[in-house]
Amino acid sequence: MCGIAGIIGVGSSRKTLGEMLKSIEHRGPDHSGMWLDHNIALGHNRLAIIDLSVQANQPFIDNRYILVFNGEIYNYLELKKELEEYIFNTNSDTEVLLAAYKKWGKDCLHKLNGMFSFAIWDKTEQKLFAARDRFGVKPFHYHLALNTFYFSSEIKSIHKAGINKRPNEKVWSSYLTYGSYGMPNETFWDDIEQLPGGHFLEYSKDKLIKKRWYVFEERIKKHSKKLSFDKVKETYKNLLRDSIKLRFRSDVSVGFNISGGLDSSTLLALVNQDVEKEGIKAYTFYTNDERYNELPWVEQMIAITNNPLVKVLIEPNNSLRKYITDIAFIQDEPFGGIPTIAYSSIFKQAKKDNTLVLLDGQGMDEQWAGYDYYYQKNNNTIQGISKAPFRPNVLSDAFLKLAEKPVYPKPFEDEVLNKQYRDLFYTKIPRALRFNDRISMAYSTELREPFLDYRLVEFAFAQPLEHKISNGIQKILLRELVSEYLSDSITYAPKRPLQTPQREWLGNELRDLVTKSIEELKNSTFQKWFNFEELDKEWKNYLDGDNDSSFHIWQWVNLALIN
């Protein structure tokens, strides 16, 4: 896990690349390296996870090719066996990735099981090839100027290269109006785009070509044969066990995150069944608020497996206020509020414990249709809401006109599948992966998501609805699977959104933070975006008890912090 940066064209220089790398040094504190040639500069900050030797440092050079790579290729040992003719000088997945590219070219992408964002410079053809993993776990941002192409793992790094920091007003307006975080190619900043997950690009002679390499709709067709419930359960369990084993490949310590939900329960159960490592630490956060207390569920599960449990307390004090500001800087774009802040505290603690790799349960709801709105006739993307969590009435007329209600592809005849597809590639998963990449890398730790192994997602997604819900019980197959290891009180507990007392804190203990943020907006470059008379009314209404949702309040705070 690392940070990458590069400049191709007349703007390249050691000084500029050095500034870019310094701004993302948190992503890789173990080594920082550069490779420069005429009109090209490639850089890398390394977090050493596999093969800790200096020989595995990057940029990785092999005669014709120079590679900078962020992520992990989990099946690198299996690929190494297919590349017997290549003489390896390291035990790293980095060298396996480059060898795979040398043998198979861009087709190597289909052989990779991992999370990755990488760029390869071809000295012979004077061409850059860059690619991003199937679901976009690892980021790739870029700016294309007249004669220069810049790229990096984080937006702040590109701004450090001298690209003006101007808000993309259409994306911001759509976020404040509809809660949209942008399309897969967009960011919240003008002239900075992201390469969508499952895409590659080639840049040569001032020309940029982008292409989708992972076509999910085609991939799931291979699962068209209908299987019995028991056969599906057996197949999925075997795939999941293999996914977890692959993600425990590491030369540093590995732990996992846990909440009180079914997905975490499944991860906990199978880790302890299959991984031959003693004392694997489990991490969770808590707030000491009984209304949102997951600890009883977590401790009930841990009592079965006896993993060491590290509990991280989050409280609404001055330290939290500073912490919110720090994470806003790290994120570069709007993020998920106090739950993201609380989740980030786990990585902070793990780093102190020298647990450098953590696994979590992201991605299960989207493949097994676990959200309530999948079975409702609406276009919601948030579970359990009764009214819109946005307040477009606080926006000025001119700014509101810029908003564009997102319209997502519907490649399937089944509406539930279309909602799952939307969440996988346009809404929930891209959003969560961005939040989580930033907070894990902020503390030089690596996050791995075994449930987002593409084999699992494709197989589960393709299953008929009766394998996903039965007699009103969602994720029925997963519940049946994990019931082999855990009690029914855990396995069949209703889904509970992972929550914090954000609504209460923003109106009480963190009220001063909100008030200060609103005042800052009134005196900021964003002031023309708002009708502050309406905004002040909404804030008063919130304090007076209209607080079923706090998302609109958090949006204002988030904007003020990013300014």
Q: Just list the catalytic residues.
A: 2
Separation CA 355–CA 445 (nearest Å): 8
Measure Cα distances from 212 to 154, 185, 454 in Å. Answer: 22, 12, 16
Q: Write the CB contacts of 243 (distance below 8 Å, at least 6 apart in sequence).
A: 450, 451, 453, 455, 456
Residues whose CB is less than 8 angstroms from the CB of residue 422 and which lie 6 or more positions away in sequence, other chains included: 381, 408, 409
379: Cβ–Cβ under 8 A, 6 or more apart, which residues? Answer: none
What are the CB-based long-range contacts (under 8 Å, 24+) for 182-190? 183/406, 183/426, 184/136, 184/425, 184/426, 184/430, 187/141, 187/155, 187/333, 188/332, 188/333, 188/334, 188/562, 189/155, 189/159, 189/165, 189/332, 189/333, 190/164, 190/166
Non-local (6+) Cβ contacts of 127 within 8 A are 121, 202, 203, 204
Give residue 279's identity as a one-letter amino acid code: G
Residues in the chain: 563
How many angstroms separate the CA atoms of 242 and 393, rounded?
50
Q: What is the H or E stretch that residue 4 is in?
A: strand 2-9
Describe the strand order of the beta sheet including 193-194 as a list of residue ranges. 31-37, 40-46, 2-9, 148-152, 141-144, 193-194
Structure token pair of residue 383: 């579970």
Please give the structure tokens belonging to residue 170.
Answer: 């259409």
Structure tokens of 441? 């890398």
How far is the C-alpha of 423 from the C-alpha of 266, rounded, in Å?
A: 21
CA dihedral 309, 312, 313, 317 (to 10 degrees): 170
Which strands, in side-by-side order, build the sheet including 65-73? 60-62, 65-73, 114-122, 127-132, 199-204, 207-212
Strands 193-194 and 148-152: unpaired
